[in-house]
Structure 1
């Protein structure tokens, strides 16, 4: 699979989804090869932002215990992957569609990639730029889930059902993301 195919995943129900599905990468391999390394990116960038220009970013940002916050964030991100894989499988089946556990976890590993990547913008001490990057990443993650459900589910005839499942998954994902951000701000 080439890079251009991967970049089309959020915008197409056909580009690359079948190829990813046929590779049958195990769930532990997905966790070790995709989730663990890429979920390290937000805590590392947050630690950098907090320790290098904290108060320039947001007043009071520099005085936080970033070592503890980022460790908790990283562990929470790993837990979220396992919960979201189970949730995707359950939601899809409740909407009378069919997806394997493997494909549900594949989607759970791919969906947060834009959000994890958007943390690179934390290198720039601009709250507005960072907020825009996160909003754009959230939109791309929603699209990844929607097109992933269309590409990976056995029943693909009903776009409304896929959209309803996407809404439910994104609501749960938004709640999880909100809890992760609450950890950062409340600690």
Structure 2
């Protein structure tokens, strides 16, 4: 996957999506080359922030058992990839659209790229900056899912159905993220 192709994916249903679809990377290849390395970013950077910034970042931040929290986060991210691929396939195939498992997992691997990349903001000890970067990344991720569904589903007039499926998929993702954050902060 070319970086230029990946950067245009959230903004159009043409071009990069068809190149990715034609290249057809296998699901194990997606896991090894995209999901695994990128899902390591948030736990590693969160561990760094938790052990280096301490309470100057957020009150009580430095007292947490970051080794366990970041391990749980990493495993949950890997599990979420498989659940999101299944969810995308189930949601899209229940509407007026159709997507095969491979394309659903391709989208599940690419959709969190902005969120994983947003964790780089943890290198700067600013809660406001990290919050803004996370919100922008969430918006780009939503756009990536929307345009990905338009491009990968087997239907031309898919705008409204793709938007509906995007809402459902993102609601599932935000719910999973919220549960994960509740577990992490309760620990």
- TM-score relative to the length of structure 2: 0.97
Q: Is the 8 A contact 1:9 1:16 kept in 2?
A: yes
- How far off its partner does 1:29 sit? 1.0
1:10 CA displacement: 0.1
Structure 1: runs of 5 or more not aligned: none
| 5+ long unaligned stretches in structure 2 | none
Aligned to 2:18: 18
Report how far residue 184 of structure 1 moved: 2.3
Structure 2 residue 99 is matched with structure 1 residue 102: no
Confirm whether residue 28 of structure 1 aligns to residue 34 of structure 2: no
Q: Give the length in aligned residue pairs.
A: 187
Greater alpha carbon shift after TM alignment, 24-33 vs 108-117:
24-33
Provide the C-alpha distance between the structure 1 equivalents of 2:30 and 2:5, rounded to a whole number of angstroms. 18
Q: For the residues of structure 2 that align with 1:2 and 1:172, how far apart are their CA atoms?
A: 29
TM-score (norm 1): 0.97
SS in 2 for 1:59: coil
**SS at structure 1 position matched to 2:63:** coil
- Residues 73 and 183, structure 1, Cα contact 8 Å, conserved in 2: no
- Structure 2 counterparts to residues 80-91 of structure 1, below 5 A: 80-91=80-91
Distance in 2, matches of 1:33 and 1:84, equals 18
Cα deviation, 1:49-103, whole Å, max 9, x if unaligned, reads: 0000120110000000000000000000000000000000000011120111000
Runs of 4+ with >3 A deviation? none
1:138-161 alpha-carbon deviations (Å, 9 max, x no partner): 000000000000010111313111
Distance 2:183 2:29 in 1: 28
